[in-house]
Amino acid sequence: MSVQHARKFRKRATDAEKRLWSALRNRQVAGLKFRRQHTLGSRVIDFYCHEAKLAIELDGSGHAGRLQRERDLDREIELYEQGIRTLRFDNADILTNLDGVLNAIIYSIDSDRSLWR
């Protein structure tokens, strides 16, 4: 995918993407820089932190089907082979439990900084 595709995705962000981005931007989570709709090879990742080698993907209703779940798994494996971990969250989780999602992100990066320790 190209940078132009990523720009289109940014302009058509879902409510969940907008909400999570407002919480991740400007190093608000664990002091880490996140990028949104970041191109990595032929992929566009919803949110990416290079320092933590962490991809965050948001799943709407379009990810419920078997074929899409298989594609998502292939994508995760491809990223894992590059040393990048992937966290997936349902859009509803972002909209109803943003604090829990942010804590899960922090926990995956540094469990000592998490409320779950």
Average pLDDT per consecutive 10 residues, the chain (117 residues; last block may be shorter)? 54 86 93 92 89 92 63 86 94 95 91 63
Contact in structure between 94 and 16 (CB atoms under 8 Å): yes
The total domain count for the chain is 1
pLDDT given at position 74: 84
Q: Which CATH number goes with the domain that contains 26?
A: 3.40.960.10
pTM across the whole model? 0.81
Its domain, for residue 55, covers 3-107
Q: On the CB side of 114, how many CA atoms lie within 13 Å of its CA?
A: 15
For residue 116, is it within any domain?
Answer: no
For residue 113, is it within any domain?
Answer: no
Cα–Cα distances in angstroms (integers) from residue 104 to residues 8, 48, 81, 109, in the given order: 28, 15, 22, 9
